[in-house]
Amino acid sequence: MDELQIRKTGRAGRITLTRPQALNALSHPMALAIHKALDDWRDDAYVALVVIDALGDRAFCAGGDIAAVYHAGRAGDHGVGRDFFRDEYRMNAAIADFPKPVVALMQGFVMGGGVGVGGHASHRVVGDTTRIAMPESGIGLIPDVGGTWLLGRAPGRIGEYLALTGARMGPGDAIHAGFADLYIPEADWPGLIATLEETGDLGCLAGHPAPAATLDRRDLSAFGGRHVADIIAALEQAGDADTLNALGRNSPLSMAAGLAMVRAARADTRMQQSLSREYRFTARATAESDFLEGVRAQIIDKDRRPDWQADAGPDALRAMLAPLEQDELLWEGAE
């Protein structure tokens, strides 16, 4: 596959995203191939650990390759989107539950689907160029790929802030927010990978002092508001124009759903619960949300002027997050 290199090198299972010209955007075949590789290596005695990295300086993975989902949805075929999101989420869970160490080296943009690949590894490495974000509300979607699970575990109100604004985190903030574990200068990564391949031993994986975080010094108390309207009112009272501008660009339905889902995820005991809740929204997204309009404005036509039309009221929100009955995303071992 031109989009991905999967191989065994020494003691390591190696997965490299190879679409630098597309910022290593994750396609449906890539998600399936990553999941299959993990299944193949689970009981392989020669594979001591897995290393996930990506070609190019600009991005580890800047998101999901959703053009096919968009075009199918516009044509009235909503099954393409449901299939993509379902298989992507199963791959995300396979990374999180893999019984051997998974080391992800995440440079440049790590957004949306990229967080789903790297953000659930057992050892998440960032460098100076790393910029992590969950910007889905800007395309009429919600933080998915297990993003609500991570956001729900961020300190304070950071999870709500990141979900609603789509703000980017540098390496220090990514570690502080729980999206990464170790800061290692990117110049050291080739040697680190070679050692992991040769030894299969994590002893070489030592983090350096991370750049200072900034999120821990921000007053995010406004994001404790019960509803998005309450958050906006608090930001207006505080005179926080920059944050208000960020919220003003995003889908009201997506922000309402993201807020509810981050908070619901705090009670989850398994990431799979968060993924199933996310799937309730994304399985309906091409038919019943602002998603197609957001993708049109940001990715297809690139006019950056989405015309948000989806109802963001409480009844619409409940409908978007209601169980899917026979289409619910279920997991082995679930109670």
Active site residue ranges:
64, 113, 136, 144
**CA 293 to CA 105: how far, in whole Å?**
33
Q: What Å distances lie between residue 168 and 9, 46, 110, 177, CA to CA?
A: 33, 38, 9, 11
The CA radius of gyration of the chain, in Å to the nearest whole number, is 19
**Residue in 201, 139, 134 with CA at minimum distance from that of residue 165:** 134
Here the tokens at position 74 are 């516009």
**CA 95 to CA 91: how far, in whole Å?**
6
**CA 27 to CA 22: how far, in whole Å?**
11
- DSSP string of 3-18? TEEEEEETTEEEEEE-
**CA 315 to CA 206: how far, in whole Å?**
49
From edge to edge, which strands make up the β-sheet containing 182-183?
4-9, 12-17, 49-54, 102-106, 123-126, 182-183
**CA 304 to CA 298: how far, in whole Å?**
5
**Residue in 27, 81, 28 with CA at minimum distance from that of residue 287:** 81
**CA 62 to CA 115: how far, in whole Å?**
9
Give the largest CA-CA distance in the chain.
Answer: 60
- DSSP string of 186-249? GGGHHHHHHHHHHH--GGG--PBPPPPPSGGGS--GGGGSSSHHHHHHHHHHHT-HHHHHHHHT
Q: What Å distances lie between residue 63 and 66, 117, 217, CA to CA?
A: 9, 10, 28
Here the tokens at position 214 are 């900034």
